[in-house]
Structure 1
Amino acid sequence: MQRRAFLSGALGAALASLYARASFAQSDSHMMHMAPGSAGMSDAHAMPGTMMPAPAPLAAADALSTGAPLPALRTLANESREPGHFRATLVAQPVSRPLLPGQSDTLFWQYDAGAGTPDLGAPVIGPLIDVREGDTVEIRFVNRLAQPSTIHWHGLPVPPDQDGNPADPVAPGAERLYRFTLPPGSAGTYWYHPHPHMLTAEQVFRGLAGPIVVRAANDPLAAWPERHLFVTDLKLAADGTIAPNSMMDWMNGREGQFVLVNGALRPDIDVTRDERWRVWNACSARYLLLAFDDGRPFVQVGSDGGLLAAPRGNLTSLLLAPGERAELIVAAGALPSRARLVAAQYDRRKMAMMGGGLPAEPTRALADVRFAPGVGTSGVATPGVVTSGAVASDAAGASPALPAQLRKIAPLSPFRARQTVVFSEAMDMKAMHQPGASALSMPRGMQFMVNGATYDPARVTLTSRRGEVEQWSIENRTDMDHPFHLHGTQFQVLARERGGKRVAESYLAWRDTVNVEPDETVHIATIQHDAGERMFHCHILEHEDLGMMGTLRVV
């Protein structure tokens, strides 16, 4: 359903008038009143119950402190002594942390290691799982939540029965063992998060997400110091609680007022020599148009599925949709300087209750970066930086030359089959605004669909054959951006098409998530290697929970 047809008739006009102010301001703190006989509303459409409860006010934008050094991520310890074997335990549980002065502790849900004793000195990010190609990975998952949950290994080529799909939930108080082997060519930047249907969004925005790095033995960039930036956002009420989703959050996807890097608000980063940055967009719905506020360039060397075929140099911005990752080379420069790493303004065309769209989010500062070339390069560790190999830098901190070719990526061909995925939406305004509808954990009346239907666990949406190269066309018939994510494999973006004009993708890369703009069709090439059932969906988590997901059966 296109936005131009989103509101219609007297009911739509009345509701548009009612919600115009709150929608435009993107606020959840206004009292909303609806009375029979309101202008433009006929008696037939008047709704009993004239008052909806006001959501709790949100915490002020300056409620959290800034300027602390970028926190280092925890690393999940390997319990195995066997070479090529990684064994560990992840516990999902509620954890209270002091956050707002003068308020009660904030209750997060987070992943912890081993016996599950929370480390309150570490950021509210699941521990980094740092493994290598060829490793056999065994993760025992213990669910201490009051909800069923799973762990989905986002982007990793794992068997379907180990992928944490919504059809395979782990009950409260239960546990299960995930086991898989990482094949050659799987080195890259991944992450893990829950995937229970209709509960994914809440579990992630309450804190359940963590990073994965898979390393190759022949990494051409092992000489670069490596920095990890795991970006999330937090929607916090003034009383210190994590705010529930509002109607607008369900409609557009949740964006918290605090954008965090490694769990910290606008931390400080010191760069003393050229660095390799791994950046994750682990937000529910926020798009990150990464840039430095002074326009300085950087180089992209990796995407979701690892290194690119060749570096993409002199970039001044890079868009990461929810779920996407990137690897960058950030230069220290020749002279000391400062810059802000920002999420620049990007219009993803959020919907408004009044029809049309909301204004784009303003530019957000992610971190303050101090470039101090040559400082601290005498062997003293730089906070927040890890080394994946021998760091070959001279006394001035200079890095070796960036290779012109990073890896070999063969284009997928020839195509044996074609698949079509269509994103669409429909809104039943009357159902959405029944008394109390906005207070429900899952609001009525919103439908985000794949191929004309919302997700049904009993229905197979598409069928593929194992080992066959396919061309998929993902068409967005809505008026807002949607990031498409495919489980179980990586894909190559071939081209983007709009208005009959097809433009080939300018670089070759392995990806598992790609943004699809309104009225755009993205063509990808992919192949599935394991039989079983996989998911594909929009990675705006609220839209996924509301039905924008399908099942792929691989035979």
Structure 2
Amino acid sequence: MKSKFWIFSLLISTVMIGGCSAGDAQPENESEKNQAMDHTKMKPEQKMGDMEEMEGHMNHVNPPALNDSTEENELAVPPLLEPKDGSYPITAQQGTTELFEGIQTETYGYNGSFLGPVIRIKRGDAVTFKTRNGLTEPTTFHWHGLDIPGKGDGGPHQIIEPGETKYVKFTVNQEASTLWFHPHQKGITAEQVYKGLAGLIYVEDENSQKLGLPDHYGVNDFPLVFQDRQFDDKNQLNFKAVHNDDGTIGNTLLVNGTLNPKLTVGAEKVRLRLLNGSNARNYTFKLNTGDSFQQIATDGGFLNEPLEMSEITLTPGERAEIIVDFSRQKSDSDIALLNEEDTILLPFKVKKEQTNSAELPESLNDYKVTDEERSLSVSKRLELFGMGKHVTINKKQFDMNRIDFTQKQGETEIWEVYNKPDPMGGMIHPFHIHGTQFKIVSIDGEDPPEILQGWKDTVAIEPGQTVKLAVKFKNKGIYMYHCHLLEHEDNGMMGQVEVN
């Protein structure tokens, strides 16, 4: 305990000496000067506030352990949403959900009390989303990873008031992928997602339909939404009581909104579509048997070929599709998906039945970073910095009335994103760009690892890392780019690019 106290005291001293502003840069104007953290001129209560913030940061560095699943409940599989009268009706609503036996927890959901359905659309389709706000507070509907005109993207400009209905119309113009949707209301995104507003989007295309991959929804093709939550003594989601400005992390795991889940599968190859839907926790997924699995897709599409691996890490907002071969397992096998701390996230029960025994294709896609893209000069430079309420991009916090960058529709530019360490070492920032799927050209000047050589909309950037991205927008409009730690987003680690 004494050692922890002295370490914390040393960290406090370091930050008080070094400050939390962006390195040696001097404020350019009075506004920036007011935003800088000058500890020498702070009042005692301000210093105490920063000490609490740094303690919160330390809690984030050493997050509370998750519970092991006790396998009490069969995993809930979200319903597939079918169009009605030519549109997909999606209502954000509030209600109660029995997460704990005999107890009703107040929650939010889409078309239900908790979480949402899976929307399945196909490339080339003209699609209409009929979005309605059934909450008692404003919200937005953001289509994370979807190539969509800015006016329908669902960022903080496209507010839907309580009781209001809006239509989002677009033509699907991207390859097969697993995307998701969630609110993006300014300042309260973290809380609305925490309470349950999240759902998935499956995009299909001609390529995906001819590959012969497991695609029997809910049988050998499963969506898996991983979210950690903290419940109070009445088993309620009291967000304000547990809120952390560096990312709210809980000790209780929910998968598809199911507490203590298990998943029954056939003795066959099964496709698992993983989404890290947490506010801030990272997950490194692996099998307790030590068996390998094959990754087939990143955020925005298939890899060029199945990639064999033993573990995969996803930060908030990231997705991956993997294939696990359960035909090797006996019906009484003890097999489960774990995280890096060997916490049992999702146990599997293997039954003898199988519906698909086909081999995986050797070729899935023709993705590549072109020589032309590699030769492009950097046109946009971004610096991510800070923690808690003092997070910035290029020393600025989000302003809805300020356009930070402009870009031409259909033109590829190179964005260079640097995660500048702070006096406490810094944090991993999952960097997300709306309205596009980008290519990772390099990480610290080197080619990205194979697992990142595919379409992405969110990339984890470690402290001190510099990532170059080839970014092209197919549509016009205003789009957000931000850290996908939802509390960082709410605190202003976000900017705007206008595509024209």
Which bin holds the TM-score, normalised by the shorter protein?
Answer: 0.7 to 0.9
> For residue 15 of structure 2, what is the amino acid of its counterpart?
F
Matched, 1:325 2:319: yes
d(CA) in 1 for partners of 2:14 and 2:386? 11
Whichever residue aligns with residue 419 of structure 1, its letter is K
The 10-residue stretch of structure 1 (262-271 or 411-420) with the greater mean CA deviation from structure 2: 411-420
Contact 2:147/2:475 (8 A) holds in 1: no
Does residue 111 (structure 1) correspond to residue 110 (structure 2)? The answer is yes
> In structure 2, what is the Cα distance between the partners aligned to 1:547 and 1:222?
44
Q: Does 1:259 align with 2:236?
A: no
Aligned partners of 1:266 and 1:368 also within 8 Å: no
For the pair 1:467 / 2:410, whether they are aligned, the reply is: yes
Counterpart residue number, 1:50: none
2:223 alignment partner, SS class: strand
2:180 is the alignment partner of 1:191: yes
Specify the alignment match of 1:482 in structure 2: 429
* Partner AA of 1:268 in structure 2: K
Q: Is the 8 A contact 2:71 2:347 kept in 1?
A: no
In 2: Cα distance, 1:155 partner to 1:543 partner: 19
Match of 2:359 among 383, 398, 401: 401
**TM-score, normalised with respect to structure 2:** 0.82
Q: Which runs of 5+ in 1 are unaligned?
A: 27-57, 81-85, 113-117, 346-362, 378-390, 394-398, 428-445
Deviations along 1:315-359, one digit per CA (max 9) or x if unpaired, are 1110111001101111114341322201214xxxxxxxxxxxxxx
* Corresponding residue of 1:388: none
The correspondence of residues 17-416 of structure 1 with structure 2, limited to 5 A, is 66-80=71-85, 87-100=87-100, 105-112=104-111, 118=112, 124-183=114-173, 185-219=174-208, 220-224=210-214, 225-246=220-241, 249-271=243-265, 272-313=267-308, 315-336=309-330, 337-345=333-341, 363-372=342-351, 375-377=352-354, 393=356, 399-412=357-370, 413-414=372-373, 415=376
Number of residue pairs matched by the alignment: 444
Q: Could you say if the C-alpha distance between residues 318 and 25 of structure 1 is closer, same or farther in structure 2, counting changes exceeding 3 Å? A: closer
Return the alpha-carbon distance in structure 2 between the equivalents of residues 551 and 24 of structure 1. 30
Q: How far 1:22 sits from its partner (Å)?
A: 8.5
Partner of 2:401: 458
Distance in 1 between residues matched to 2:12 and 2:121, nearest whole Å: 45
Which protein shows a greater Rg? Answer: 1
Greater helix content: 2
The alpha carbon displacement at 1:410 in A equals 3.6
Aligned to 2:83, the other structure's residue is in SS state: coil
Q: Give, as a single letter, the amino acid of the residue that structure 1 aligns with 2:154.
A: G
Q: Could you list the per-position Cα deviations for residues 105-153 of structure 1 after superposition, in whole angstroms to 9, with x for gaps in the alignment?
A: 21101110xxxxx4x7xxx220110111111111111112121111000
Deviation at 1:312, TM superposition (A): 1.1
Per the alignment, residue 355 of structure 1 pairs with none
Distance 1:193 1:174 in 2: 17
Deviates further, 502-511 or 93-102: 93-102
With over 3 angstroms needed to count, the CA separation of the structure-2 counterparts of 1:312 and 1:23, relative to structure 1, is closer
Q: TM-score, normalised by structure 1?
A: 0.74
Q: Does structure 2 conserve the Cα–Cα contact (< 8 Å) formed by 1:266 and 1:365?
A: no
Q: Are the equivalent residues in 2 in contact too, given 1:139–1:179 (CA < 8 A)?
A: yes
1:6 aligns with 2:15: yes
Whether the aligned pair in 2 keeps the contact of 1:156 and 1:186 (CA below 8 Å) is no
Q: CA 1:100–1:71 in structure 2 vs 1: closer, same or farther (change >3 Å)?
A: closer
What's the C-alpha RMSD, in Å, of the aligned pairs? 2.8
Change (3 A) 1:425 1:19: closer
1:400 Cα deviation from its structure 2 partner: 2.3
The alignment partner of 2:384 has SS state of: strand
Residues 364-405 of structure 1, C-alpha deviations (whole Å, 9 max, x = no match):
321112345xx023xxxxxxxxxxxxx6x4xxxxx2222221
2:499 is the alignment partner of 1:520: no
Contact 2:12 2:51 in 1 (8 A): no
Displacement of 1:503 = 2.1
Q: In the alignment, is the contact (CA less than 8 A) between 1:495 and 1:523 conserved in 2?
A: yes
Letter in 1 for 2:176: A
Call closer, same or farther: CA 1:201–1:189 in 2, change over 3 Å: same
Contact 1:304 1:325 in 2 (8 A): yes
Aligned to 1:493: 440
Gaps of 5+ in 2: 1-10, 18-38, 215-219
User: Which amino acid in 2 is paired with 1:511?
Assistant: K
- Alpha-carbon separation, structure 2, partners of 1:20 and 1:149: 30
2:99–2:259 Cα contact (<8 Å) kept: no
User: How much has 1:514 moved relative to structure 2?
Assistant: 0.4
Q: How far, CA to CA, are the matches of 1:328 and 1:335 in structure 2?
A: 17
User: Structure 2: which amino acid aligns with 1:110?
Assistant: G
Q: Partners of 1:330 and 1:130 in 2: how far apart?
A: 23
